[in-house]
Amino acid sequence: MKFCSQCGGLLTIQVPAGDSRPRHVCAHCGEIHYRNPKLVVGCVATWEERILLCRRAIEPRHGFWTLPAGFMENGESTAEAATRETLEEACARIEIEALSSLISVPHYDQVHLFYRARLLDPHIGAGPESLESVLIREEDIPWSEIAFQSVSFALRAFLADRAAGSFGLHEHSLPPPATT
Amino acid sequence: MKFCSQCGGLLTIQVPAGDSRPRHVCAHCGEIHYRNPKLVVGCVATWEERILLCRRAIEPRHGFWTLPAGFMENGESTAEAATRETLEEACARIEIEALSSLISVPHYDQVHLFYRARLLDPHIGAGPESLESVLIREEDIPWSEIAFQSVSFALRAFLADRAAGSFGLHEHSLPPPATT
Ligand SMILES: [Zn+2]
Ligand SMILES: [Zn+2]
């Protein structure tokens, strides 16, 4: 971020009056440009005992497996975002049940939400961002090929709840990646 | 949003290849500038039976009552955001218990999260964005002077749970304001 999106002027980094953090402030018009975390919303969708997974056709983590999920858009609710992403990535129609996982990812400035959901029918497919979609049994989940830590967390939380016969909200904050 | 924050070039509105929505795209460098919902995070914090409310010293809704809450910052978790906002607005130290309300506000491109929390001590104050803070009994809550619909929802959800003796997550999507 170098230029003001309002006037095209050069941005400076300074702490505005009454604030405690450095911000991008326009040297020309004074506009303060805040940067805030983004929401990624998806779901753990099931048909009978099987779980919907998609294999990624895009970077990052091309070829790895994920739950359908993506950046929430303006003008929608979190449940609508999960429903839309599932349709776009897995061509699958779902009914949202309840929020299952809330995972903060501070080092990427993101918050990930995963809903528990029920497929309305077993027809699935591969949207433009997926190589393939599958309905997979718990014992066949390719744990070593899951794309993201938050997806593994959401899957394990769902499976633990299902085994216990009681569903709740699971919260987690991911630590930064290990630097070796 | 008129100018590219990367190169200062003029932005155009177009649907990028492989996308289905109009975006702000730079005519000069091609950068796509996405706009995404913002997270507002706060808490329903209690000391014994009383609830922490703040009276707003800033617009919108100057002079009205709110739960401590504000925009989540990059680099923090949702629970850290709630803790920070409560310290900033009410000079109050809390221990987070669990997520209590998740409220989508599609017409303002926001998602509001309210945690249930426990004050660590009864010392409260007024931060720069508050005229005053109070610890108030349920029967004294000024319902007609609550600043935002999401705050009323979160308060009522918490009070209903407390009355029932069982706490859960309450989800809601606010309808657009009535136009009369
Ligand atoms: Zn400017
Ligand atoms: Zn540009």
Among all bound ligands, the one having the nearest atom to the CA of A9 is: 1
Q: What percent of chain B has pLDDT over 90?
A: 94
Distance from CA of B122 to the nearest CA of A (A): 25
In the numeric block, which tokens belong to residue B147? Answer: 């600043």
Q: For chain B, what is the HEC assignment?
A: CCECCCCCCEEEEECCCCCCCCEEEECCCCCEECCCCEEEEEEEEEECCEEEEEEECCCCCCCCEECCEEECCCCCCHHHHHHHHHHHHHCCCEEEEEEEEEEEEHHHCEEEEEEEEEECCCCCCCCCCEEEEEEECHHHCCHHHECCHHHHHHHHHHHHHHHHCCCCCEEEECCCCCCC
In the numeric block, which tokens belong to residue A94? Answer: 């779902």
A2 vs B contacts (CB less than 8 Å): 5-8
Q: Does the pLDDT at position B179 exceed 80?
A: no
A173 exposure class (CB count in 10 Å sphere: 0-12, 13-18, 19+): middle
Q: Give me the pLDDT at residue A12, please.
A: 96
Q: Give me the pLDDT at residue A18, please.
A: 84
Distance from CA of A139 to the nearest CA of B (A): 30
Q: pTM of the prediction?
A: 0.96
Q: Does the pLDDT at position B18 exceed 90?
A: no
Q: Does the pLDDT at position A179 exceed 90?
A: no
Sorted by where each begins, the domain ranges of chain B are 1-35, 38-173
Among all bound ligands, the one having the nearest atom to the CA of A4 is: 1
Q: Does the pLDDT at position B48 exceed 90?
A: yes
CATH (one of 2.20.70.10, 1.10.10.60, 3.40.50.300, 2.60.40.10) for A1-35:
2.20.70.10
Q: State mean pLDDT over B66-91.
A: 98
* Dihedrals phi, psi of A40, to nearest 5 degrees: -110, 125
Q: What percent of chain B has pLDDT over 70?
A: 99
Chain A CA closest to residue B96: A171
Q: Give me the pLDDT at residue A177, please.
A: 81
In the numeric block, which tokens belong to residue B33? Answer: 């500038």
- Picking from B6, B7, B72, the nearest residue to A36 by CB comes out as B72
Q: Give me the pLDDT at residue B9, please.
A: 95
Would you list which residues of chain B are within 8 Å, Cβ to Cβ, of chain A? 1-8, 11, 18, 21, 33-39, 71-80, 98-99, 102, 104, 106-107, 109, 111, 128, 169, 171, 173
Contact B101, B108 (CB under 8 A): no
Contact B37 A72 (CB under 8 A): yes
Q: Does the pLDDT at position B89 exceed 90?
A: yes
Q: State mean pLDDT over B77-98.
A: 98
Quote the CA–CA distance of B80 and A128 in Å, as a whole number.
36
B4 vs A contacts (CB less than 8 Å): 3, 5
User: Would you say the C-alpha torsion B71, B77, B82, B88 has a positive or negative sign?
Assistant: negative
Q: Give me the pLDDT at residue A19, please.
A: 87
A38 vs B contacts (CB less than 8 Å): 36
Chain B CA closest to residue A77: B104
Q: State mean pLDDT over A150-160.
A: 98
Contact A79 B171 (CB under 8 A): yes
Contact B71 A99 (CB under 8 A): no
CATH (one of 3.40.50.1000, 3.90.79.10, 3.40.50.300, 2.30.40.10) for B38-173:
3.90.79.10
Q: Give me the pLDDT at residue B180, please.
A: 61
Quote the CA–CA distance of A104 and A154 in Å, as a whole number.
12
pLDDT digits (tens, 9 = 90+) for A89-123: 999 999 999 999 999 999 999 999 999 999 999 99
Q: Give me the pLDDT at residue B177, please.
A: 81
Distance from CA of A36 to the nearest CA of B (A): 5
Distance from CA of A81 to the nearest CA of B (A): 11
In the numeric block, which tokens belong to residue B40? Answer: 């507002």
Provide the mean pLDDT of chain B.
96
* Strands A170-173 and A94-105, sheet pairing: parallel
Q: State mean pLDDT over A55-63.
A: 97
- Beta-ladder partners of A126: none
User: Would you say the C-alpha torsion A68, A72, A75, A79 has a positive or negative sign?
Assistant: positive
A128 vs B contacts (CB less than 8 Å): 18
Contact B37 A74 (CB under 8 A): yes
Q: Does the pLDDT at position A65 exceed 70?
A: yes
pLDDT digits (tens, 9 = 90+) for A24-47: 999 999 999 999 999 999 999 999
Contact B5 A11 (CB under 8 A): yes
Q: Give me the pLDDT at residue A178, please.
A: 79
Contact A79 B104 (CB under 8 A): yes
Confidence of residue A180 (pLDDT cuts 50, 70, 90): low
Contact A64, A71 (CB under 8 A): no
Q: Give me the pLDDT at residue A22, please.
A: 94
Q: Give me the pLDDT at residue A44, please.
A: 98
